[in-house]
Amino acid sequence: MNIHSEIQALANPDKAKVYARFFKTGKGEYGEGDQFLGLTVPQQRIFAKKYIDLPFSDIEKLLLSKYHEHRLTGFLILVYKYDKFHDENIIDFYLKHKHCANNWDLIDCVADKLLGHYLFDKDRTLLYMLAQSKSLWDRRISIITTFAFIRLNQFDETIKISKILLHDTHDLIHKAVGWMLREVGKRDENVLLTFLDEHSKEMPRTMLRYAIERLDAKLKKKYMVK
């Protein structure tokens, strides 16, 4: 059996229907037209680890597949490959195929672990270019990538990119920015509060709610009053 047939063997039509609704695949929704087989993420991680030595040509076939689980498994293989080999070619391959990450989980499971780790000691101009892209998914990559820096108590990129995305119109960006700001606040509340003091009145409500989720009741009330 190859990876495609092994994935297909675990297909679950009932779960596939649930995932299709959850990931907003209906007409006009952000995941319009995406198709699911019904595998869980842990199942896909098992396949990704098993096939860590899959060549780029076969990973590309996964990433170009119409099935969501194929694409996620392909991206997870890249994560495990990079963790093992730290090969810059893996990052180049990821960037050439980032358009295949056309739903939020395909970014959230990958961007910080690949691009974030790679850019840690390098120029980060690319993230600002992505933050200003017309592509929703590029913009989400830009902010989620900074999670790698946040974990190491570096907050500058998160704050700067959050400012760029402050007036973004898409709910998925509001949630992502709010989430990253919350993660900053978990490590240094003063950095979060400084950002909120300056920008809370212009932040979209969803972004603000995510950002202040861990603050005490008094602070939450203060920032929710516009």
In a domain, 114, yes or no: no
Structural domain harbouring 14: 1-109
Q: What is the CATH number of the domain that holds 182?
A: 1.25.10.90
Using one digit for the tens of pLDDT, what is the confidence trace for 121-159?
Answer: 999 999 999 999 999 999 999 999 999 999 999 999 999
Query: 1 or 54: which carries more pLDDT confidence?
Result: 54
184 pLDDT above the threshold of 70: yes
Pair 127, 101 in one domain: no
In this structure, the answer to whether residues 94 and 160 fall within a common structural domain is: no
DSSP string, the chain: --HHHHHHHT--HHHHHHHHHHTT-STTSTTTT-B-----HHHHHHHHHHTTT--HHHHHHHHTSSBHHHHHHHHHHHHHHHHHH--HHHHHHHHHTGGG--SHHHHHTTHIIIIIHHHTTS--HHHHHHHT-S-HHHHHHHHHHTHHHHTTT--HHHHHHHHHTTT---HHHHHHHHHHHHHHHHH-HHHHHHHHHHHTTTS-HHHHHHHTTTS-HHHHHHHH--
Residue 225: its pLDDT value, please? 85
Q: How confident is the model over 164-190, as a mean pLDDT?
A: 98
Is 115 within the bounds of a domain?
Answer: no
Q: Which of 109, 135, 169 is the last residue of a domain?
A: 109
State how many domains the chain has. Answer: 2
Encode pLDDT of 44-68 as tens digits: 999 999 999 999 999 999 999 999 9
Burial-class residue 143 by CB neighbours within 10 Å (0-12, 13-18, 19+).
buried
Residue 10 has pLDDT above 80, yes or no: yes
135 plus 71 within the same structural domain: no
For residue 1, pLDDT over 80 is answered with no
Distance CA 212, CA 55 (A): 43
* Residue 22: pLDDT over 80: yes
Q: Is the model's pLDDT at 226 over the cut of 70?
A: no
Both 2 and 95 in a single domain?
Answer: yes
Mean pLDDT for 26-54 is: 97
- Where among 60, 88, 109 does a domain terminate? 109
- Asked whether residue 205 is assigned to any structural domain, the reply reads yes
pLDDT digits (tens, 9 = 90+) for 188-213: 999 999 999 999 999 999 999 999 99
pLDDT digits (tens, 9 = 90+) for 83-131: 999 999 999 999 999 999 999 999 999 999 999 999 999 999 999 999 9
Q: Which two tokens stand for residue 133?
A: 């892209």
Whether 23 shows a pLDDT value over 70: the answer reads: yes
> What's the confidence (pLDDT) of residue 181?
98
Chosen domain end from 78, 109, 140: 109
